[in-house]
Amino acid sequence: MGLGCLLALTTAALLVVANRPAIVTDDADVEGALRRASAQRVLRGATAAAMILVAGLVTVSGLAIRSAAKTAAQAARLEDLPVGAVASLLPWVGGALALIGLVGGVVGIGVLFIRTRVPVPAAELVTTEQ
């Protein structure tokens, strides 16, 4: 549901970027460069939001798997029941998923701060007459 809303908002923002003028200019190159810069900002924000959302879900899922597997294995040991290899392996799988989720969240936050250059012909935007 959350990713669907994010997709709808991103699509709406990209349509606004595509249809409204960035600045009043007759130069198509400047207009195109500014549109690309705006679209890149919209997509960077949407990517970061999606990555952080999915990272949180993966982290919580991994921790839940780890906790449930450890509890089930401990209960089986207390009742002198055999604990299979899968029950011994699942806490490690859950921990790995939690770690992957945490790394994904950090990367998602990092996406917000990474700036890429979009070439805008700045010399044509500002003219200084002396």
| pLDDT tens track for 41-60 | 888 999 999 999 999 999 99
Per-residue pLDDT tens for 62-84?
Answer: 999 999 988 888 888 888 888 77
Residue 21 has pLDDT above 80, yes or no: no
Residue 69 burial by CB count (10 A; 0-12/13-18/19+): exposed, middle or buried? buried
Return mean pLDDT, the chain. 84
Question: Could you please report the per-residue DSSP string of 54-80?
Answer: HHHHHHHHHHHHHHHHHHHHHHHHHTT
Per-residue pLDDT tens for 83-106?
Answer: 777 777 889 999 999 999 999 999
Residue 17 has pLDDT above 70, yes or no: yes
Q: What angle do CA 33, 8, 14 make, to 5 degrees?
A: 10
CA dist 35 and 14 (Å) reads 10
How does residue 129 score in pLDDT terms, banded at 50, 70 and 90? low
Q: Give whole-number Cα distances, 52 to 12, 103, 115, in Å.
A: 21, 10, 18
CA dist 59 and 62 (Å) reads 5
Three-state secondary structure of 4-41:
HHHHHHHHHHHHHHHHCCCCCCCCHHHHHHHHHHHHHH
